[in-house]
Structure 1
């Protein structure tokens, strides 16, 4: 069964076409990566799938629910980690998690255990009672990651999750995402870090000019072929790169 499906999704902002008929499917229990140049439609896709934006046409399904018709139900069932979003500055991490628990109707004792686990996993336990505004950008990112997983969703959308994290915490999070997937959950990862996508993802989709141009399994790449090579070729930049290299 597919956790995510889209069919001919289209979205424009005035004269700018963000999505030009995007059709894709992500299986349950898959760690799927979405790659593409800036402006390719990745953020628009996530906003539609998470019920934050209406497409001009086309259809979508997330865990069997239409995110356009039932956006609240979709957001109740998923986790979302947006790129470059910060926790409320006037709260501490602990207060923010209490707020998330209230919104998601989570038991206080369960939340306390989960917060402790995440604070230890991401190495910020001593910052739980510090105002978010006084945290570093990396520590704020850790708070947002915890908030996205606090209710233990079956599906999570994450946009550049490793940005601002130190290498030790990056490794801890990557290993968690793999175990989360292995437990049957689904990850929809948007990133510009092709090496991370190649390491983590079961399958990647490459979007260009608002459409899906190919999907690949990193594990099935030919010997000596890099996911970066595939990406550059599919988005039409391989010739320019080759020319630049030959001129060095």
Structure 2
């Protein structure tokens, strides 16, 4: 479903090439310090960034060469400063705009169904500028689900959330996994990797089985 082979977004030798492969639906956490390429990985998965080296395959195709095809099958939530919603528009109008980009007419019924999936405590008529950070995150996730994509990408979904809010978002992401989707999210914090089936440690250049093993060991000790 998703493969990176010796991928680099900079010629700087301090950044290791990224190699990993995920073949099954589930949850992938891309982990590492700030400015190490986590968000670049997400953008590259929709063909928005072309790596300076290596190869990427998303759902069996090159996302740069088949960008339109990939965008029909991959949903991306908001990316701060890069891929942002229209805060002055209503939730519904943001859905209509996103639908237009996908070549899809969006009905109010579909919007209501998607918002119900995240138990939205706001109206589709509300403007995004009037919503709090958790509510905006819910909008971002549901916008990424428009068109029922196989792969869902979310940049730092737990940023600035309380512990209770984080558990709520974890529940949503686990629900998407149960639907058979592959969910990929980024994080700066190891403690936010609890729901990940696979961890991509950017600093190490690929899957960190050691990190998973350490986390699972600590969980068993705590229980």
Shorter-chain TM range is 0.7 to 0.9
- What's the C-alpha RMSD, in Å, of the aligned pairs? 2.8
Partner of 2:102: 104
* Larger proportion of strand: 1
Distance 1:82 1:194 in 2: 22
Indicate whether 1:37 and 2:30 are aligned: no
Alignment correspondent of 1:203: 198
Please list every run of 5 or more consecutive structure 2 residues that lacks an aligned counterpart in the other structure: none
| 1:160 corresponding residue in structure 2 | 156
Structure 1's consecutive aligned runs of 4 or more residues displaced over 6 angstroms after TM superposition are: none
Query: Could you say what secondary structure the match of 2:171 adopts?
Result: helix
Q: SS of 1:20's equivalent?
A: coil
Larger radius of gyration: 1
Q: Go from structure 1 to structure 2 and tell me whether the alpha carbon gap of 1:163 and 1:120 turns closer, same or farther (over 3 Å shift).
A: farther
Determine helix, strand or coil for the equivalent of 2:126.
coil
Matches within 5 A, 1:94-243: 94-106=92-104, 108-109=106-107, 112-165=108-161, 169-197=165-193, 199-208=194-203, 211-212=205-206, 214-216=208-210, 218=212, 223-224=217-218
- Structure 1, unaligned runs of 5 or more: 227-248
Query: In structure 1, how many angstroms separate the alpha carbons of the residues matched to 2:216 and 2:163?
Result: 29
Cα distance in 2 for partners of 1:129, 1:183 equals: 28
CA distance in 2, matches of 1:120, 1:8: 40
> What is the TM-score when the length of structure 1 is the normalising length?
0.75
1:91 and 2:85 correspond? no
| Other-structure match for 2:5 | 7
Q: CA, structure 1 residues 140+193, in 2 after alignment: closer, same or farther (shift >3 Å)?
A: same
- The whole-number CA distance in structure 2 between the counterparts of 1:28 and 1:38 is 28
Higher relative contact order (CA 8 A, sep 6+): 2
Supply the distance in 1 between the matched residues of 2:77 and 2:171 (Cα, whole angstroms): 17
